[in-house]
Amino acid sequence: MHHHSSHVFRAEEQSGGGTAGYNHIGDGAIFLPPLLHPDLPLLRTSPNPISKSSSSLTAGNNFPPPLAGGNQHGVVVGMAAAPGMATATATDRFCLPRMAAAAAAASQLENWGDSGVVVSSTFTDDTSTDVDDTADKHHHHALMGGGGGGCRGELRGAIFSAVSKEKTGDQKTQRRLEQNREAARKSRMRKKAYIQQLESSRSKLANLEQELQRARQQGIFITTGGSGDHGQSIGGNGTLAFDMEYARWLDDHQRHINDLRVAMNAPIGDDDLRVLVDGVMAHYDHVFRLKGLATKIDVFHVLSGMWLSPAERFFMWLGGFRSSELLKVLASHLEPLTDQQLMGICNLQQSSQQAEDALSQGMEALQQTLADTLASAAAAAGGVDNVTNYMGHMAVAMAKLTTLENFLRQADLLRQQTLQQMHRILTTRQAARALLVISDYFSRLRALSSLWLARPRD
Amino acid sequence: MQYGAAAAEQAWTAYMPMPAMAAAAETAAERVERVASESAVVVFSVSSCCMCHAVKRLFCGLGVSPAVHELDLDPCGRDIERALSHLVGGGAAPVVPVVFIGGKLVGAMDRVMAAHINGSLVPLLKEAGALWL
């Protein structure tokens, strides 16, 4: 099956060079502008079709015989004006332009101007897009070989004589122009394809976000891949409630941030801005309270980060964001800073890093001791001793697990205090900008998650 | 009241044959104070406690080597723990770690972290002579 756009009949030299002679007729190439022949698949010539044998005349034989006599003109006009004729025979219709062009070529050149063939130079050849139509080529060869049946010899003669009139310079110019046009057309098509891709991605994204919104309201939390019910397996209502509360908090947060953004762009006094900033900070306190409650209900759920978007989860540290990373994100957006402020921020970044490291090491120790406890519970002697031994170890393990809640709590305190200290160091306007930057950063992480979820899979 | 006939007290003396009378010379609270003022940085800890491990790592990371007092290795450990919980105002959470700097109480883990974040910990350490820079 030939693509309309990818097959071009060119009575024109291929971009790869090749024969200089055969394809040129008259002042330029014979082009069949695709606009006039929407139904005609346009064919590409091969460099030396004439050299092929004429044995496979069969394809050509099916063709209504327009070549004889003075019918060429009619044929050509037919091509231009009556695509219906071209579609006469499904399998052979691709022969038509070829035949017609050959016919036109074969016809004496005095018919040339009268023919309906438009010598148009707008035609381009997608040589790069249809490299593997060898079957096509064979047909071409066959046709050209058998083209016009008996007038093959005349055809060749006519064409060669036309060619001999051509100057090489003209050819080169023509070739360059055509290549330019071809390149332009290709790039237009690429651009169109890209835009279509973008549009479809956009609509997919919009649909997905709608779905998410709906699902949130129904209390279902959508997780990536796999089964969607891992989110609330343990803790039941508790974890689900937290997920919903967090989603609601996120919406409120976005509203606060939007108000702040609008205020930043408007000429607003510092006092009013401070009210907004304080509002955002207080709202942050609210989420830490929520997390505290959730930790008591199900520490593993908070620790798992299933209530976060996938990309946020990737960066999660001990049940939330990493304060030191956040400060790094802020670094370039806070200028200009006074020396004192700069030092304050640097110290804050450093101390949050140190605190995070300390807690991380504590967590590692916790993991290690828990593993040791469970391992020693496994290695046991027999008998009743075994059971009490087992129970004893389990009790110890349980006690250690309660420490986990403490670690999570300390991590959240760290996050909260880092934000508060940052607020203390910065001016109102700087703090407002900082909060916007932070919020935008997390929005981008969430957007990345959405894009990832919506990506086309093959 | 310190000499209370608590079973715990008897249990302790069973293991550590120190005459209960003699040990009563110092109350737990006084003991805490004494120990706390012996070094620039004092951490009351329990050897198996991971949060204590975390606070120790924090100080090591700052270049400070605190004097660690493991309560589970101390005969009067439980008393001290009780005294500490009074000082810190502990709730359900384990009391330790409790940190003293320059003989003054800083608090449990959350206080220490808060102090570090708001930038008051390092000056405190320098003041007590635990840090030089």
Q: Tell me, yes or no, whether A392 lies in a domain.
A: yes
A318 at interface of B, judged by CB pairs closer than 8 A: no
- Cβ–Cβ contacts within 10 Å for residue A390, how many? 13
**Position A234: which residue type?**
I
Q: A77 falls in which pLDDT band (50, 70, 90)?
A: very low
Per-residue pLDDT for A237 more than 70? no
Please name which of A254, A252, A300, A315 lies closest in space to residue A449, comparing C-alpha atoms: A315
What one-character DSSP code corresponds to residue A151? G
pLDDT at B10: 58
CA distance B58 to chain A (A): 5
Per-residue pLDDT for A269 more than 80? yes
SS3 A234: coil
Mean pLDDT over residues B84-107, rounded?
A: 87
In this predicted complex, what is the ipTM? Answer: 0.81
Highest mean pLDDT of the ranges A54-58, A217-221, A444-448:
A444-448
Please answer yes or no on whether A410 and B109 come within 8 Å at the CB atom: yes
> CA separation (Å) from A431 to A207, A253, A423, B88?
35, 16, 6, 34
Q: Tell me, yes or no, whether A145 lies in a domain.
A: no
Provide the β-strand partners of residue A330.
none
Q: Tell me, yes or no, whether A200 lies in a domain.
A: no
CA-based nearest residue in chain B for residue A396: B48
Residue B94 or A57, more confident: B94
pLDDT in tens, A323-351: 999 999 998 888 888 999 999 999 999 99
Please answer yes or no on whether B110 and A365 come within 8 Å at the CB atom: no
Which of B53, B94, B118 is nearest residue A365 as measured by Cβ atoms? Answer: B53
d(CA B125, CA B130): 5
**Position A54: which residue type?**
S
B107 at interface of A, judged by CB pairs closer than 8 A: no
pLDDT at A335: 80
Long-range contacts of B118-122 (CB under 8 A, 24+ apart): B118/A417, B118/A421, B118/A424, B119/A344, B119/A347, B119/A348, B119/A351, B119/A421, B121/A351, B121/B62, B122/A351, B122/B62
CA-based nearest residue in chain B for residue A408: B51
Q: Tell me, yes or no, whether A198 lies in a domain.
A: no
CA-based nearest residue in chain A for residue B93: A406
A424 at interface of B, judged by CB pairs closer than 8 A: yes
CATH architecture of B5-128: 3-Layer(aba) Sandwich (3.40)
Map tokens 């017609």 to a residue: A100
Which residue range forms the structural domain that includes residue A430?
236-454
pLDDT at B102: 93
pLDDT at B26: 76
Query: Which H or E element spans position A288?
Result: helix A270-297
Per-residue pLDDT for A65 more than 90? no
Number of domains in chain A: 1
Q: Tell me, yes or no, whether A310 lies in a domain.
A: yes
Per-residue pLDDT for B42 more than 90? yes
Mean pLDDT over residues A408-432, rounded?
A: 95
pLDDT in tens, A155-208: 665 565 666 555 677 889 999 999 999 999 999 999 999 999 999 999 999 888
A362 at interface of B, judged by CB pairs closer than 8 A: yes
Q: Tell me, yes or no, whether A126 lies in a domain.
A: no
Please name which of A72, A89, A80, A4 lies closest in space to residue A44, comparing C-alpha atoms: A4
Q: Tell me, yes or no, whether A3 lies in a domain.
A: no
- The pTM of the full predicted model, rounded to 2 decimals, is 0.58
Please name which of A321, A323, A322, A318 lies closest in space to residue A300, comparing C-alpha atoms: A318
Q: B11 falls in which pLDDT band (50, 70, 90)?
A: low
Mean pLDDT over residues B104-123, rounded?
A: 94
B51 at interface of A, judged by CB pairs closer than 8 A: yes
Please answer yes or no on whether A406 and B51 come within 8 Å at the CB atom: yes
Contacts of A114 by beta carbon, 8 Å cutoff, 6+ apart? A73
Q: A272 falls in which pLDDT band (50, 70, 90)?
A: very high
Instruction: Please provide the average confidence, as pLDDT, over all residues in chain A.
Output: 72
Residue B67 or A141, more confident: B67
CA distance B127 to chain A (A): 18
Q: Tell me, yes or no, whether A28 lies in a domain.
A: no
Mean pLDDT over residues A95-118, rounded?
A: 44
